[in-house]
Amino acid sequence: MDLAYIPSPSTGVINLGPIPLRGYAFCIIIGVFIAVWFGNKRWVARGGRPGTVADIAVWAVPFGLVGGRLYHVITDYQLYFSEGKDWVDAFKIWQGGLGIWGAIALGAVGAWIGCRRRGIPLPAWADALAPGIVLAQACGRWGNWFNQELYGKPTDVPWALKISEGPNRVAGTYHPTFLYESLWCVGVALLVIWADRRFKLGHGRAFALYVAAYCAGRVWTEYLRVDEAHLILGLRLNVWTAMIVFVLAVVYMVISSKVRPGREEIVEPGAAEDAAAAEAATDAEDTKGAESDADKDDADKDRKADGGAERADDSADRAAKTPEKSGAAEAAKNG
């Protein structure tokens, strides 16, 4: 008897009338929002304009979704094109199936187009986005929890994932590889943020660090999975992909640090001038407001001074009239 386990959702869809809200899609949307929001904060901190990250994401996100789906369909083609399968299911992205390798690769193409249109270096933009992207992956992995997919080997550990009976799955408790990878992604994000602050990573090295660190974790989480996969020399395809990409990322970091050390001083042409102009405008408004307050204070002082003078004049007039009245009264009395 299992004393403790992580339950799986009874359904991955909540229907609000005719509108289905799918947990898998919801996790991806949240991930995209986090990546753009956090990436924008880092981009502005590096000297870029607010909103630039979102503008480029308009290109990167659709390309990434298409690339992720293509990678999954190509590497798991038997799920859609073998005998008894319906090839139309290849377009049902809400049922799960996005390969991160294809998403990053084709998403980078979309980002390159967006950066080129804005005159921005792609490596600098990628460095700003790196922690946000891996946090988006951490969110996206929970979509696998909603779909009860991509779990690991059977286990009875207290944090085992309970899977219900269903198509292509057997009821039982398994390693929650979605949780392992989600937590690993959070750790990678923290690592990139720390290393970027400590070593001032630039020219794409923060992004390369994210790729290398993610691949290191993907190797062991992939090893735990039991879903069907193509094997090469006894290893799953994604294990080979992770190892190759890891080596490429490390090589890039080493070569880049020698060829282009340091960090970019300007990441977006004209952004510094815009920031200076905005600051000058703010200072001018503050100065104008201070002058207005000073003028108001002076006017108040003048009014108070005028009022004091008028009161002094009134007092003098009353003082002058008092002796006259007293003299007249005395004369009347003597007469």
pLDDT on residue 295? 64
DSSP tag of 50: T
Q: How far apart are CA 294 and CA 239, in angstroms?
A: 71
Tens-digit pLDDT profile for residues 103-132: 999 999 999 999 999 999 999 999 999 999
Please check the confidence at residue 319 and state whether its pLDDT lies above 70: no
* Of residues 267, 268, 147, the one with CA closest to residue 202: 267
pLDDT at 217 over 90: yes
Query: What's the rounded Cα separation, in Å, for the pair 260 and 29?
Result: 35
pTM of the model: 0.80
Q: What is the pLDDT of residues 138-172, one digit of tens each?
A: 999 999 999 898 899 999 999 999 999 888 789 99
**Residue 2, CB half-sphere, CA atoms under 13 Å: how many?**
18
Tens of pLDDT along 239-288?
999 999 999 999 999 999 999 999 999 999 887 666 666 666 666 676 77
CA angle 98, 231, 89 (to 5 degrees): 35
What is the band of 19 on the pLDDT scale with cuts at 50, 70, 90? Answer: confident
pLDDT confidence bin for 1, thresholds 50/70/90: very low
